[in-house]
Amino acid sequence: MEYIKDGFHADAGRTFIVGEGSPLAKKLIQVTEQAFFAGVDQAVAGNRIGDISNAIQTVVEGAGFNLLREYQGHGIGREMHEDPGVPNIGKKGRGERLQVGMALAIEPMVVAGSPDVVVGKDKWVVTTKDKKLSAYYENTIVITEEGPEILTL
């Protein structure tokens, strides 16, 4: 969901289970949220984008799931999508250095099967090729001197 306040954008998204949900679906959503918070823990001034990416990747792959590669988090501000990109896969110590005042949308997109996707004719609906479950968890954060602050919880 997109929010705009005083000319600045914010971005947030969630995956919800309708009905009871399978144990796999529940675990997938839980791991996706855990991966988000692991990424946020690395969003401190002086770290790099790759530190966020690696934290997300470590949680997700450690739980036996995969991450979409075509989509990623992003910088956010006067525009919805700004630099830098925030991949969900990466190496520690790589990428742009994080600075106080940066705003980022961190958004792990986790799949229970193959990370290969199909984009619908409307260019909006995206599904996995193998039709396995997927989950998404996103918030906008800002990096402060005290650490990351989540703006869209």
Question: What is the per-residue pLDDT for 5?
Answer: 82
Radius of gyration of the chain (CA): 15
Instruction: Give backbone dihedrals phi and psi of 57, rounded to 5 degrees, phi first.
Output: -60, -45
Q: What is the pLDDT along the chain (153 residues), one digit of tens a residue?
A: 667 888 999 999 999 999 999 999 999 999 999 999 999 999 999 999 999 999 999 999 999 999 999 999 999 999 999 999 999 999 999 999 999 999 999 999 999 999 999 999 998 899 999 999 999 999 999 999 999 999 998
pTM (predicted TM-score): 0.94
Classify domain 2-150 at the CATH superfamily level: Creatinase/methionine aminopeptidase superfamily (3.90.230.10)
In the three-class reduction of DSSP (H, G, I as helix; E, B as strand; rest coil), residue 147 is classed as strand
Query: Could you tell me where the DSSP H helices lie in the chain?
Result: 23-41, 49-62
What b/e readout covers 16-35, taking b as 16+ CB neighbours within 10 angstroms?
eeeeeeeeebebbbebbbbb
The domains of the chain are located at 2-150
